[in-house]
C-alpha cells in the first residue's frame, strides 16, 4: 500500500497539520512504527511516544492533539476519535486488496449448482449438487459444501470449513477455518437394554446476514425445523451450539461457550467465554453474562448482568462473596 | 418422500382412524406443519394444537388419543408412544436415502489397502497403506485415514475427519466433521534446563461398535497400549479425550467435556457438558455427573449423581448451598 | 523393529544381566507384554509383575533391580531410571522410521514459493505464494498454508492444519490435525444502532522453536503486531489463544484452556485444563494455575500456585474451603 496523508485525511474530512503529500507504506503501533509509517494516538497513556515515534504520519484524536507539541518533521491528521478512524481505514485497505473470482481446476463441483460468475473457489473445494453461491463470495481451500446449501453474496468462507446439506447462510458472513455447520445434534433415546437409539436429524441451520463465526466452532442442525443464528451475531472460536438453538440479532459470544439444545438467546446479548447453558431455556434481550458462568434457568428480566454457577445477578453475587469472606475471617 | 398413512401404520402395526390413503411428503412439528405433512403428538402440552394443525396425518400416543376430538379432515395413526415411533420412522426414512458406493476419481488411495467394493469414498479423501474399510461404510470428502487403520462395516465418516495411523474403528459408527483421532497425547518430561522432552506415543485408539463422535472432538492415542472407546458410547462436539483413557459401554458425554490422561470412565455413565476430569482416576459405572463439574478424585460408588468442583454427591452439595445461603442471610 | 538387548544397552551404557543377543520386536507395558517384547520396570508398584511378565527383556531401574529375584529365562538391562530410558528409546525408534521427502502430485503449490528439496508434502496440500518451508519438514494431507508463511526446519505439520497468511513458525515444531493458526481475532466496535463493526486484523502469529500444538487448537493473529508463542511452549488440544496474546518460553498449557486478547503469560508456567484468562492481564513467570480456574486479574508474584474462580493462592483457597465446611457443619 502507498497512501499520502491527503488520501487519508479526505476519508475523514480531517485537518492535516504538516505535509499533505507525506507518504506511508504501512500502519504500525506508535512504539513500533518505522519510517514512512502511519501510526495512531487515541489513548492518553501513549502520549509520550508521540515525540519519539519513527512514524512520519500520526492519526490523532482532537482532544489529544491539544496536549502535544507538534513536530515539524511529522504530519498529523486530526480526527474526532483516532481509534475508530483507524478501524475504518484498515477496513478500506482490506477491501481494496484484489480478490480473484475464478474456480480452481482442482476443485470438485457437482451437477446442478448455481454459482455466480463473480465467485472465487479455491483448490480442493467440494460443492454438492443443488447448492447456490451468490456473487462476490469466496470459498477457501479444502472446504466441503453439502447438497442444497445456499450461501449469500459477499461471504468469506475460509479454508477447511465443513457445511452439511441444506444449510442456509445470508450475505456478508465470515466463517473461519475448521468451522462445522450442520452436524447431527446430540439426541438419543435410551432403550431398555441400556443402549441408545439415535434421534435422526432432519432440520437444518439458517444463518442471517453479517454473521461472523470463529475457527473450529460447531453448530448442529435442528432435529426438525432450524437452528437459527440471526443477523449480526458474532461467535468466537471453539463455541458449541446445539440443535434447535436460536441466537438473536447482534448477540456476541466469546470463545469456548456452549449452548445446549433448544435454548433461545435474545438479541443484543453479550456472553463471555466458557459459559455453559442448559437446554430448553430462554435468555432475555440485552443480557450480559460473565465468563465461566453456568446458566441453568431462563433469564426473564432483560438488560441485566449475570455471573456465577448457577448464575445470579452480578451485584447480588458480589455482595454474597464479600459477606462470605467476612464470615470466614470473623470465624 | 411420499408415504401413505397406511405405509406408516403397518410399520408399527398401528390402527388408522381416518383415511388410510392420505399422503404425506414431509414431517414437521405440530405447530409448524403444513398440508400433506405428517406430525406427531406425544406430549400433553401440545394437545391444543391438535385441532389447529395443518398436518393431514397425526402420529399420536394412544393415551392422548382419548383426550382429543378427532376431526373428519385428518387421519390419526395411533401408537403406544408417538415419540419413539417418530424416531423409528425418521431412522427408516434416512436409511432409504440411496447411498452410492464408489470411489471418487479425485481421491488418493495408497497401495496395499483393502476396501470393500460396497464402500463410498468421496472427493479429496486420502487413505494410507495397509488400511481396511469394510462394506457399506462411507468416507466423506477431505478425510485423512492414516496407515494401518481399520474401519468396520456400515460406518459413516463425514467430511474433514483426521485419523492417524493404527486407529481401529468398529461397526455402525458415526464420526462427524473435524474429529481428530489418534494425535499424540500431551506428555512431556521436564529437563533440568526447564525445557520439555516429548514422550513418544506408540499406542493407538480402539473404538467399539455403535459409537457416535460429535464434530471437532479430539481423541489422543495411547503412549503404549490403547485409548479405548467401548461399544455404544456417544460423544458430543468439542470433547477432549486424552491418551490412555478408557470409556465404558453406553456412556454418553455432552459437549466440551475434557478427560485427562489414563482416566477410566465406567459403563452407562451420563456426563454433562464442560466437565473436567483429572488424570489417573476411575469413575464407577452408572455415575451421573452434572455439567461444569470438576472430578478430581476417583468415584467409587456406582449409580450416584455428582456435582460441583470438586464434585460431591448432588444432594450434599444442594444442602450445603442452602445452608450457606441461610448463613449469609442471617449474618 | 528388531533389536537385541545389546543394541539397547549400548545406548545407555548399561549393564546386561542375561542374554545380550536376546531379540525384541515390540515394546509393551509389563502386564501386557508378550514373548520377544521389551518391557520396563520403573515403579515399585509393578514389582510383582516382574516374575510373571511374558517379556523376555526388561529395562529396569537400578534401585528396583536389587528388589527382584532375576530369572534365568529373562534378560535385564539395568539403567538409572528406566522410565527416562524408555522415553529416549521410543524417541530413537520413532526417528528411525523413514520419512520420504517428495511433493505429492495431487498437491497445489502456488508460484514464487521456496520449498527445500528435503521437504515432504502430502496429497491435497495447498501452499500459497511467497511461502517458505525449510529442510526436513513434512506437511500432512489437506493442510492449507496461506501466502507469505514461513515454516522452519524439521517441523511436522499433520493433516488438516489451516495456516492463514503471514504466519511464522520456527524449527522442530509439531502441529497436530485440525489446528487453525492466524484466524481473525474477536474484535468489534459497537455502533449506535446496536450492530458491530469488525476490527480488521493486520497482524500475524510468530511461533518459536520446539513448540507443540495439540489438535483443533486455535490461535488468532494480532490486530496489529504479532501473537507470540515462544520457544518450547507446549499446547494441548482444543485450546483457544486470542489475538495479541504472548506466551513465554517453556510454558505448558493443558486442554480446553482459553486466553483472551492481549494477555501475556510468563515463562515456565504450568496451566491446567479448562482455565480461562480475561484479556489485557499478565501472569508472572513460573506460575502454576490449577484446572478450571478463572484468572481475572494480573498475577504479579512469580512461582506460586493458584486455584479457584477468581483465582487465589492455592493454600489460601484450601484454608477458606476448610473453614467454610466447618462453619456449615457447626451451623
Note the pLDDT tens digit of each residue in B230-281.
999 999 999 999 999 999 999 999 999 999 999 999 999 999 999 999 999 9
- A92 has pLDDT over 60: yes
Tell me the pLDDT of chain C averaged across its residues.
92
Domain count, chain C: 2
Instruction: Enumerate the β-bridge partners of residue A145.
Output: A127, A163
Question: Nearest CA to B91 among B27, B159, B161, B169?
Answer: B27
Residue C242 lies in a domain: yes
Residues B51 and B197 in one domain: no
- Is residue B315 packed enough to be buried (19+ CB in 10 Å), middle (13-18) or exposed (0-12)? exposed
Mean pLDDT score, A102-115: 93
- In this structure, the answer to whether residues C279 and C197 fall within a common structural domain is yes
**CATH code at position A269:** 2.160.10.10
Q: Is residue A205 part of a domain?
A: yes
Nearest CA in chain C to A89: C200
Whether B92 and B165 map to the same domain: the answer is no
What is the reported pLDDT for B75? Answer: 93
Quick check: A294 pLDDT over 60?
Answer: yes
List the single residue in A178, A186, A278 with the smallest CB-CB distance to B214. A186
Q: How far apart are CA A285 and CA A299, in angstroms?
A: 9
Q: Which of B256, B267, B292 sits opposite A256 (nearest CB)?
A: B256
B63 lies in the same domain as B182: no
Question: Is the CB of residue B54 less than 8 Å away from at least one CB of chain C?
Answer: no
In this prediction, residue A34 carries a pLDDT of 84
Which of A256-265, B44-53, B134-143 has the least mean pLDDT?
Answer: B44-53
Residue A175 included in any domain? yes
Q: Do C193 and C311 sit in the same domain of this protein?
A: yes
A148, part of any domain: no
DSSP letter string over A189-225? EE-TTS-EEE-----EEEE-SS-EE-TT-EEEPPSSS
Q: What is the mean pLDDT of residues A32-53?
A: 88
Give residue-wise pLDDT tens across range C303-313: 999 999 999 99
At residue C95 the predicted structure's pLDDT band, cuts being 50, 70 and 90, is low
DSSP codes of every residue in A70-131:
--TTSEEEEES-HHHHHHHHHHHHHHHS-----B-TT-EE-SS-EE-TT-EE-TT-EE-TT-
Are residues C228 and C88 located together in one domain of the fold? no
Residue with the larger pLDDT of the pair B32 and A168:
A168
B138 touches A at CB < 8 Å: no
For C104-114, what is each residue's pLDDT tens digit? Answer: 989 999 999 99
DSSP reduced 3-state for C262: coil
pLDDT at A91 over 80: no
B257 or B54, greater pLDDT:
B257
Residue range B61-96, pLDDT digits in tens: 999 998 988 888 899 999 999 988 888 888 777 665
SS (HEC) of chain B: CCEEHHHHHHHHCCEEECCCCCEECEECCCCCCCCCEEEEECCHHHCCHHHHCCCCEEEEEHHHHCCCCCCCCCEEEEECCHHHHHHHHHHHHHHHCCCCCCECCCCEECCCCEECCCCEECCCCEECCCCEECCCCEECCCCEECCCCEECCCCEECCCCEECCCCEECCCCEECCCCEEEECCCCEEECCCCCEEECCCCCEEEECCCCEECCCCEEECCCCCEEEECCCCEECCCCEECCCCEECCCCEECCCCEECCCCEECCCCEECCCCEECCCCEECCCCEECCCCEECCCECCCCCEEECCCCEEHHHHHHHHHHHHHHHHHC
User: Based on the number of CB atoms within 10 Å of its own CB, is A206 exposed (0-12), middle (13-18) or buried (19 or more)?
Assistant: buried
pLDDT at C99: 60
Beta strand A180-183 with C276-277 is: unpaired
pLDDT of residue C93: 74
Contact A215/C at CB under 8 A: yes
Q: Which of B71, B96, B121 is the last residue of a domain?
A: B96
Report the catalytic residues of B: 243
Taking an 8 Å cut-off on Cβ atoms, the answer to whether B178 and C212 are in contact is: no
Across A296-310, B124-138, C40-54, least confident range: C40-54
Quick one: pLDDT at residue B7? 84
Residue B191 forms contact with C (CB below 8 Å): no
Give the tens place of pLDDT for each residue, A124-165: 999 999 999 999 999 999 999 999 999 999 999 999 999 999
Same domain, C92 and C177: no
Q: For B295-321, what is the mean pLDDT?
A: 95
The verdict on B255 touching A (C-beta cutoff 8 Å) is yes
Binned at pLDDT 50, 70 and 90, residue B1 comes out as low
Q: Are residues C92 and C16 both part of a single domain? A: yes
Task: Name the 3-class secondary structure at A65.
Answer: helix
Query: Residue A51 sits in a domain of what CATH number?
Result: 3.40.1390.10
Q: Could you tell me the residue range of the domain that residue C82 belongs to?
A: 3-96
Is C69 at the interface with chain B, CB within 8 A?
A: no
Q: Assess whether pLDDT exceeds 60 at residue A43.
A: yes
Q: Evaluate whether residue A16 is within a structural domain.
A: yes
Q: Is there a domain that residue C19 lies in? A: yes
pLDDT score for B51? 87
Contact state of C160 with B164 under an 8 Å Cβ cutoff: no
Mean pLDDT of the region C196-216: 93
Whether A310 contacts chain C with CB within 8 A:
no
Contact between A274 and C260 using a beta-carbon 8 Å cutoff: no
Touching subunits of A (3+ CB pairs, under 8 Å) are B, C
Domain shared by C48 and C170, yes or no: no
Both B308 and B201 in one domain: the answer is yes
A57, A41, A61: which is closest to A49 by C-alpha? A41
pLDDT at B99: 60
Residue among C90, C159, C234 minimizing CB distance to B196: C234
CA distance C126 to C144: 5
pLDDT digits (tens, 9 = 90+) for B91-133: 777 665 556 678 998 999 999 999 999 999 999 999 999 999 9
User: For residue B108, is the peptide bond before it cis, meaning its omega torsion is within 30 degrees of 0?
Assistant: no
Residue B2, number of CB atoms within 10 A of its CB = 9
Residues of chain C numbered 109-128 and touching chain A (CB < 8 Å): 124, 126
H or E stretch at A50: helix A49-52
Q: What is the arithmetic mean of pLDDT over C144-166?
A: 96
B327–A contact, CB cutoff 8 A: yes
Task: Please answer whether residues A29 and A7 qualify as being in contact, where contact means their C-beta atoms are separated by less than 8 angstroms.
Answer: no
Contact criterion met (CB < 8 Å) for C87 and B189? yes
Last residue of a domain, one of A47, A77, A96: A96
Which of 268-307 (C) contact A at CB < 8 A?
Answer: 274, 276, 278, 294
A181 pLDDT exceeds 70?
yes
- Count Cβ atoms below 10 Å from residue A154 Cβ, excluding itself: 17
Predicted ipTM?
0.79
Q: Which residues of C touch B322 (CB under 8 A)?
A: none
Q: In what order do the strands lie in the sheet with A57-61?
A: A15-17, A75-79, A57-61, A37-41, A26-27
Pairing between β-strand C240-241 and β-strand A120-121 as defined by DSSP bridges: unpaired
pLDDT of residue B95: 62
pLDDT digits (tens, 9 = 90+) for A303-325: 999 999 999 999 999 998 888 88
For residue C185, being part of any structural domain is answered with yes
Q: How far does the CA of residue C85 sit from the closest CA of chain A (Å)?
A: 38
How many angstroms separate the CA of residue A159 from the nearest CA in chain C?
7
The residues, any chain, with a CB within 8 Å of residue C95's CB and separated by 6 or more, are none
Neighbours of chain B (3+ CB pairs under 8 A): A, C
Instruction: With cut-offs at 50, 70 and 90, classify the pLDDT of residue C98.
Output: low
Long-range contacts of C193-196 (CB under 8 A, 24+ apart): C194/A232, C194/A249, C194/A250, C194/A267, C194/A268, C195/A210, C195/A232, C195/A250, C196/A232, C196/A234, C196/A250, C196/A252
Give the per-residue pLDDT at B31.
Answer: 84
Answer yes or no: do C188 and C301 share one domain.
yes
Return the pLDDT at A95: 62
Of B248, B240, B245, nearest in space to B211 by CA: B248
Picking from A66, A96, A126, the residue at the C-terminal end of a domain is A96
Distance CA(C6)–CA(A203), nearest Å, equals: 63
pLDDT for A46 beyond 80: yes
Average pLDDT over every residue of C96-100: 59
Mean pLDDT over the full length of chain B: 92
- What pLDDT score does C114 carry? 95
A217 and A76 inside one domain: no
Q: Which residue of C has its CA nearest to A161?
A: C162
Residues of A classed as catalytic: 243
Coil, strand or helix: which one is A313? strand
Interatomic CA distance for residues B82 and A307, integer angstroms? 40
Distances (CA, A) of C62 to C40, C54, C85: 12, 21, 12
A105 interfacial to chain B (CB closer than 8 Å)? no
* CB contact at 8 A, C85 and C29: no
In a domain, residue B65? The reply is: yes
Q: Strand, coil or helix: what is A51?
A: helix
Count contacts between A and B (CB, < 8 Å).
150
Once rounded to an integer, what is the mean pLDDT over residues C221-239? 96
Q: Which residues of C have a catalytic role annotated?
A: 243
User: How near does any CA of chain A get to the CA of B149, in Å?
Assistant: 22
Could you tell me how many CB contacts below 8 A there are between chain B and chain C? Answer: 146
Closest to B162 (Cα-Cα) out of B176, B181, B137? B181
Question: How far apart, in Å, are the Cα atoms of C250 and each of B223, B236, C230, C244, C253?
Answer: 22, 32, 8, 18, 10
Amino acid at each position: 500500500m502507498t497512501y499520502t496523508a491527503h488520501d487519508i485525511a479526505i476519508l475523514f474530512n480531517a485537518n492535516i497539520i504538516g505535509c499533505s503529500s507525506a507518504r506511508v507504506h504501512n500502519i504500525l503501533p506508535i512504539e513500533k512504527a518505522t519510517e514512512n509509517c502511519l501510526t495512531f494516538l487515541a489513548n492518553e497513556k501513549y502520549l509520550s511516544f508521540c515525540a519519539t515515534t519513527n512514524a512520519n504520519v500520526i492519526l490523532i484524536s482532537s482532544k489529544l492533539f491539544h496536549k502535544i507539541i507538534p513536530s515539524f518533521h511529522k504530519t498529523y491528521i486530526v480526527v474526532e476519535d483516532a481509534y475508530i478512524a483507524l478501524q475504518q481505514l484498515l477496513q478500506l485497505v482490506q477491501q481494496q486488496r484484489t480478490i480473484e473470482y475464478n474456480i480452481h481446476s482442482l476443485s470438485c463441483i457437482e451437477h446442478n449448482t448455481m454459482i455466480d460468475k463473480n465467485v472465487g473457489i479455491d483448490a480442493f473445494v467440494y460443492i454438492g449438487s443443488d447448492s447456490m453461491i451468490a456473487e462476490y463470495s469466496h470459498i477457501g481451500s479444502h472446504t466441503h459444501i453439502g447438497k442444497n446449501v445456499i450461501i449469500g453474496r459477499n461471504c468469506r468462507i475460509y479454508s477447511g470449513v465443513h457445511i452439511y446439506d441444506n444449510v442456509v447462510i445470508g450475505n456478508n458472513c465470515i466463517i473461519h477455518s475448521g468451522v462445522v455447520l450442520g452436524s447431527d445434534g446430540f439426541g438419543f433415546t435410551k432403550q431398555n437394554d441400556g443402549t441408545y437409539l439415535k434421534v435422526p436429524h432432519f432440520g437444518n441451520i439458517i444463518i442471517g446476514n453479517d454473521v461472523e463465526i470463529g475457527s473450529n466452532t460447531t453448530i448442529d442442525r435442528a432435529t426438525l425445523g432450524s437452528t437459527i443464528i440471526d443477523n449480526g451475531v458474532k461467535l468466537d472460536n471453539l463455541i458449541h451450539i446445539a440443535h434447535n438453538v436460536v441466537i438473536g440479532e447482534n448477540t456476541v459470544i466469546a470463545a469456548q461457550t456452549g449452548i445446549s439444545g433448544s435454548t433461545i438467546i435474545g438479541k443484543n446479548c453479550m456472553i463471555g467465554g466458557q459459559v455453559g447453558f442448559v437446554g430448553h431455556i430462554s435468555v432475555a434481550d440485552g443480557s450480559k453474562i460473565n465468563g465461566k458462568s453456568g446458566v441453568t434457568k431462563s433469564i426473564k428480566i432483560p438488560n441485566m448482568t449475570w455471573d456465577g454457577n448457577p448464575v445470579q445477578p452480578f451485584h447480588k453475587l458480589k455482595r454474597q462473596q464479600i459477606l462470605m469472606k467476612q464470615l470466614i475471617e470473623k470465624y
